[in-house]
Structure formats: C-alpha cells, structure tokens
Homo-oligomer: A and B are copies of this chain.
C-alpha cells in the first residue's frame, strides 16, 4: 500500500469503527427494551434510538464516507489491498449505495417508529389486541414501501426486501426452492397423518419447574461451547441472540412451565447463532465483516444445533439421563426412545416457534406468501388477520382462537423485518446440506454427538464457516463447503429418513 492509501484506509477504518460504536449502543438499547426496561421510559428510549441510528446513518452516508469509497474502490487502489480489505470495500459500498438513497429524516422516523412498535407489540400480543397494533404496523409498511421506492424495485417490490437479508435471493428462486421442498414434504406430512404408530407424548403435559429448566439450559450451553465470559443469558418474551461486540454476544430464552423442551431448544437455537458470532476470526472483529454472512447462513447454524444435533437420537442418548435427573418425578417412566420420539412428534400447530421440524416450513411459507401479497399485491393491513387465519386453515387445518396465537405472534413485523422470514427455511436447507458434508469429513459424527463431544464439531464449523464471518457471500460459502449450490433435496432427504423411522413408514 502506498502512503496515501494507507492513511486513507486508516481514516476509513476509524469511521467504520465509529459507526459500529453507534450500533453497539443501539443493540444494547434493544436488548434492554426486551429484557425488562420499564414501560414509561420507552417513548424517551425510542427517541434516543432514533437519534443514535440517525447519527450512524449520517456517518454511513456522509460525504467523507463517499470520498473514502471513491478513492478506495477504484481499480488501481483495490489492486493494492488484500482480499479482506477488498471485501470490506465491496460490502461498505453496497451499504452506502443503499443508504444514501434514504433521506435522513425518513430514516430517523422509521427507527423511532419501529423501536416504539417493538416495545408496544409485547403488550398488544399479550392482550391479543390487533386493532391497537394495526396503526403502527400500517405506518411501518407505508414507510417500508417508501424505502422500496427510494431503493428502486427489483424484479418485484418484495425482491428488494429479500435481497437485504439474503444477497441475490429472489422471489423467483424462492418460489422454485419452496416449491420443490413443498412437493416432497407435503406427502410426508400426509403419510405421517395416516401412520399407524404415533409417538406417545402425554408425559409432556406436566409442570416442569422453571429453575430446573434454567439449570439444564445453561448446562447445555456450556456443553456446546458457548463462552459465558463473552455473553450472558436472559429472559424475554421472544428468544433472540444479539451481538454487542465480539466479546459480548448475548442470548435470551423464554420458559414455559408446561413445556420442558421449548426453552431448551430455543437455547440451543440462539446458542448456535452465538457460537457463530463468538468464533468469527478476531481479525475481522470490529470491521463490517465481523458478523455472520447472511440471515440464512446464520439461521443454518442455529438450526444445525437446535435440530440436526439437538433433536437427534444420539443427542438424547447422551443427555436424557441428565434431563431425568433434573425432573425425576415427571420423567421416571419415560424411556429415552419415547422421549426422542416425543420431541420429534409432528403436529400441526398455530405457533411457529413451537412447531416441529417438519411443519415449521409451512409456517414460513405462510409468512412468505403474506409478505409477498403485502408488498406485491397490495394486501391491506386491516385484512391481515383474516388472510393469516385463512392460510393457517388451508395449510395446517387450524384457526387461531385469537390474534395472540395468530398474526401477532412474531416480533419481526413490529421491527420492520419484512423479507426476513424466508431465512428460517433457507437456514434449514443450508443446514441439511452442510451437515451432509460434515458427516463425510467427520465420519464419526454420530458418535461425537452420542458422547457429547462437541469440540470437534464446533471446530469444524469454525474452520468451515464461523471464522469467515461476512468475508464470503452465502452462495460462495455453500459452494466452498459443500461443493454445490443450494439444493433443497438434502433437507427433504434428511426429513424423510428421520420421520419414516420415527413413524414406521416404509
């Protein structure tokens, strides 16, 4: 690097880190709002979040940033930079190009609105009050539509949103992949409905002491290698992972007294996200590459720990005894095989985050279709509960008794995260494909899980995925790790094999 490039890079890096600082402050405020911040402070807090995000936004779209990029993103200068720095420039340029189109005032209004709505959503959900929530949601959608206008519509308006969470993902691709998946899963779900043998699960309907659940959940996080000195675990209405900085990667969970597995699987899930963030290469920490590659890849890591490991027979062979020790009364007459089958019982249900591994994908498809309608077909906000309920009836044969268990169940829309839901199903597909490769490279994978020896698994994931952070795109990662593009058949194969065994299907 010549001297001008070196000194420009240094200033650019400082500006980046300053922007990161704002994001850390805002992340802490979001964490706080969802882990017990007092209600009466929410209005003031949302103004503060709005102000800080606006400042970060102002820096991101500043003339200074524009000038750095003009200089650094020229072919001659790029040629002087190493691959990591080149990728930092690419990512920053994309972010800059997107952000610079939004008027700062609009941006501030949006962040204040979503911060407030996320907080209020908790109450609206609890009370099942969609009418109360509707005006906030309507405003968020209106503002999101304005943003799409500023950014410019891709193939469809909804494509523009998808691309933000999963680079290069399109409605066309998603329709195709979801179509393939549905064509293989629907017959499976049907076959299961007709199956003669059904897992026994009545023992699940007991009370499980929260303190014991908490103890077991923390034990499992320890087992999987979550670094408690670089994070903390709290409770919130909806479990989440949030990264403040690389030494502070927090997760939350939510305990249900009458469901011993919900908090546990959500801990494994958020723990999977956290392992990814805690193990990004330290040289990327604090740069725009010091985070997960995309929402879909992130979700593949949470799903991998939650389902592919946590809902496997090997896992429970190792840990069921421990769980029994925490709940000796409730589980005394239940064998590990019965328990394994019970946590893999397929049952059409209303609540996404409580759904089984198989029908979960239908919950996502419902949301995907609704979001497409909202942005591409002008579905009105007041019709949302109706459409929601119709789709649940059509896809899962169920009608929510109230909006708490229906359209109000997820936090995402209150935070403006439209286009995010498909990541969950993408994550399942990525995870199946990645596990398929891992199984070849760690031939004793099942034994490792059955021994609770997760270190080699964490190590493999770190080497293959975690350490790269955002320095490669999702498609590049999949190609490098698995040798091929996203292929939904791995997930379908895995689910077929697993559930045929559990339900005794041929």
Contacts and interface: CB of A to CB of B under 8 A. Distances in A.
B24 A246 contact: no
A24 B42 contact: no
Given A36-B232, A37-B232, A232-B38, A245 B48 contact: yes
A377 interface: no
A436 interface: no
Contacts of A21: 47-48, 51-52
Contacts of A232: 36-38
Nearest to A20: B48
A45 B229 contact: no
A55 interface: yes
Interface string A52-86: 10010000000000000000000000000000000
A45 B45 CA distance: 20
A248 B230 CA distance: 27
Interface string A211-237: 000000000000000011111100000
Contacts of A37: 232, 248
Contacts of A24: 44-45, 48
Main secondary structure of the interface of A (DSSP, over half): helix
Interface in A412-470: none
Most chain B beta carbons < 10 A, residue from A21, A32, A42, A229: A21
Contacts of A32: 28, 32
Contacts of A47: 17, 21
A244 interface: yes
A473 interface: no
A41 B246 CA distance: 7
Contacts of A28: 25, 28-29, 32
B25 A247 contact: no
A352 interface: no
Contacts of A250: 38
A105 interface: no
Contacts of A173: none
A29 B39 CA distance: 19
A286 interface: yes
Contact of A244 (B36, B41, B247): B41
Given A21-B48, A21-B52, A51-B18, A247 B42 contact: yes
A205 interface: no
Contacts of A25: 25-26, 28-29, 48, 52
Contacts of A55: 55
A245 B18 contact: no
A256 B456 CA distance: 42
A248 B45 contact: yes
A40 interface: yes
A364 B226 CA distance: 44
A244 B29 CA distance: 11
A43 interface: yes
Most chain B beta carbons < 10 A, residue from A47, A48, A228: A48
A52 B39 CA distance: 25
Contacts of A43: 247
A460 to B, nearest CB: 23
Interface in A235-291: 244-248, 250, 286
A248 B48 contact: no
Given A24-B48, A25-B25, A52-B25, A38 B229 contact: yes
Contacts of A38: 228-232, 247-248, 250
A45 to B, nearest CB: 7
Interface string A1-44: 00000000000000001100110111011001000111111111
A227 B228 CA distance: 33
A445 to B, nearest CB: 30
Interface in A282-309: 286
Nearest first, the 7 A-B pairs at minimum CB distance are A41-B248, A40-B247, A44-B245, A41-B247, A40-B230, A21-B51, A21-B48
Given A37-B232, A38-B228, A38-B231, 15 more contacts: A18-B51, A21-B51, A25-B25, A25-B48, A25-B52, A28-B28, A28-B32, A38-B248, A38-B250, A40-B247, A41-B245, A41-B247, A42-B247, A44-B246, A45-B248
13 contacts: A25-B25, A25-B48, A25-B52, A28-B29, A38-B248, A38-B250, A39-B230, A40-B246, A41-B230, A41-B244, A41-B246, A43-B247, A44-B248
